[in-house]
Structure 1
């Protein structure tokens, strides 16, 4: 009987010990698994893009000529598409390593997380916007054009003063709006996107629209406004700060993008791209004073 009790106790002790060893092994395995997952999920401190090995570039939906052609930023046609790929190349990303995403104008320049590494859709560089996002140096300095319909009573306007009684439209939050307000009149009708702005002029809800000069020429050429005409560009409306690439605030990529844009300016690439894609949309446009 004594021997039976002793053997039983011994068996229990062995079972308990085995259970403890198994539990310990499971705990160690769980710790290793958690650590591995944490390592995989944690962002590499040296990683500068939101997706490893990929440069994600944001732009508008839709896009417009001459900035991008056929609403296909990935085709490399148009000034901003060409600039984007030139910057990507300077950063070491081939065309097949570039991913395009679409955003609204406002969401790109307001505070908060972004789903792009940089974004371009003619963003004027302003002190107010710099509080929410980072900017590259300017890659273009646009002027502002005025578009009317040929049958409008303002079609023969020669000066900005001739528009004092006109209903003027511009896209909200843009440099176009600022210049229209400062140079023409204080009461400017605002629109959330270019399509709405153009439709308003085409349907005669407004008498004239103000938008960057290349876009104004394209609106007329592509007949987005029936019988539209570019009366001219606003004197003194060149954007002194210029148009820059937008990056998330505090982006690890800002310094590299800044270096890339400066290099493209210095080596003449930006000038060549402007001559290729923008010259026909900016020459021979009269100045309205």
Structure 2
């Protein structure tokens, strides 16, 4: 196994924190790891990005390790992006483009994390990476622009799309449901939007495996991959499963339609990503979403329960 030197942009975010802990647990001292927060490394600052990637490359060379950059930094406020697409574009397109340019200059591989929102959400089967994109929200448009910039600029870049991510750090749907369970007798959750909930801990393991593969010289032929927990469900069914993990009665969660909860940004009706590309590259498939949820609670129960 090749020693790894890893830079995780967005290291203070939901996925970035899980990546930090997974790398430390898996590789320990046999790796170089920088996981700056977005405040510590602004990916829209070309000079700062160049300095960070240069530092990584120099440390890797000094210790005989292979450098890889993972971009987990993003503007993820889906509804806010509708009114401030320019800021979202700066973070989700211009920032990744600057990372890609710095990586290209130093021949450092880049893994860029993207989203199911690049698709229109009207499919009847899980989306493959080759399926036509067509984002319906500002957030989706900015993330698609970031994908294209990364792939155009950096010959050794890979885009990994994921969906429905939740983790022990930061805000997410699981934590919101836990708070509502503690404060409401019943609640309504949309039952007409299909997706694949993805635990950040599982996604982090998958991204680390991909990084190690790249560092070992076994670079995937496909430059766009999909990685989510296996299977699909609805937000309503997901909420009921969360209630089960909380020890609450899942019947307290009632189904409703999307039209009953209008949001500034349209949500995809079908947002399931196919794992075929991931598996065909010899990467380990992520476990089923229900098992991932149970493991997330087993490992981080205090983080998912309101104080």
Q: Same fold (TM over 0.5)?
A: no
TM-score by length of 1: 0.30
- Higher helix residue share: 2
From the CA coordinates, give the structure whose radius of gyration is larger.
1
Higher RCO (CA < 8 A, seq sep 6+): 1
TM-score by length of 2: 0.29
